[in-house]
Structure formats: C-alpha cells, structure tokens
Amino acid sequence: MLTAEQVFAAHKANIETLFGLTNKAFEGVEKLVELNLQVAKTALGEAAETANAAMSVKDAQELLNLQASLLQPSAEKAASYSRHLYDIASSTQAEVAKVAEAQIADAQQKFAAVVDSMAKNAPAGTENAVALVKSAVAAANNTFESVQKAAKQASEIAEANFQAATSTAVKASQTASRSSKRAAA
C-alpha cells in the first residue's frame, strides 16, 4: 500500500515534470519566434535591396540577369529556414522524449518493486501466478523497448530523408539559376 508521503512525493514529481516540459515547450516556441523575426528582418532588408536594384535596371537584359540572380538565394534561404525549423522541432521533441523515457523507466522500476514485494509476501502455493505476472511484466517491458527503438530508427530515417530532400531542392534551384543565367546571356 502507498503511504500519504509516497502519494505526495509522486504528485510533486509529476508537477515538477509538467513544469519542466512546459518550459521546454516555451523554449522551442521562443526559438521559433526568434527565427521568424530574423527571417522577417532579413526579408525586409533584401526586399529594399531588390527594389533598389530593380529601379536601376536599364534594359530587359539587366532585368533577366537580376531575376536569375534572385532565384538561387531564395531557394537556398527557404531550405535553410526549413532546416532551422526542423532543428528546433527535433531538439524540442528530443527533450520531451528524454523526460518521458525517464518517467517511464521510473514507473517500470516502481512497478517491478511492487511486483517483487507482492511476490515476497504472497501466500504459499501462488508461486506460479507470481511467475506469470513477472513474465508478463518482462514481456511488456521488452515490447516497449522494441517499440521505442523502432520509433528512434524511424525518426533517424525521417531526418536523413529530410536532409536529402533539402539538399536536392537546393541543387535543383542552383541548376535552374545557372540555366536561366545562360539563357539570359
């Protein structure tokens, strides 16, 4: 049986975990806001530069050259923004996962201690039932660990695919930019 102190300690630990996770979520939002403000500030400056450059264009050839010079950096900036977004999201998710894993490990340990305590205090003749419960707990823990490993592998594959797609998009924009520069010349 749980004592009042154990229940109180568990509630206190849960509240601390909740506030810790809330702080991690706010840190992620804060990073996202900083990124978006930086992107907006940079975009505003670049828009002013582009407008000034467009106003100084003297003929159609210069306009085509200006347009070609703007294509590649825009795609690279979009890819960079996507990478930053992904980094913020994945680091926030990793922090939350770390806390969740610690909580689950603690709960598994406490549950195993309860099962062991029950086994020690079980009446004679219930050894088979106790062994069955212990076996079920071990199987559940093994299944959970397998699912956890599979989720990590899926996350790593998704990250690799994201990096590959970003790289491909940047290369495609560079190729398109070179092609349009050649066509303009």
CB-based contacts of 32, cutoff 8 Å, min separation 6: 85, 88
Q: Alpha helix locations (H) across 56-126?
A: 60-121
Say if pTM beats, i.e. exceeds, 0.75. Answer: no
State which residues form the domain around 156. Answer: 4-184
Q: In this structure, how many other beta carbons lie within 10 angstroms of the beta carbon of residue 17?
A: 15
- Residue closest to 14 by CA, chosen among 117, 102, 95: 102
Q: Considering its fold, how many domains does the chain have in total?
A: 1
Q: In this structure, how many other beta carbons lie within 10 angstroms of the beta carbon of residue 148?
A: 14
Each of the 185 residues of the chain gets a pLDDT tens digit; together they read: 567 887 788 888 888 888 888 898 899 999 999 999 999 999 899 889 989 988 888 888 888 888 877 776 777 888 888 889 988 988 888 888 888 888 888 877 877 777 777 777 777 777 787 778 778 878 887 887 887 787 777 777 877 777 777 777 667 666 665 665 566 55
Tokens at 89, concatenated: 């999201």
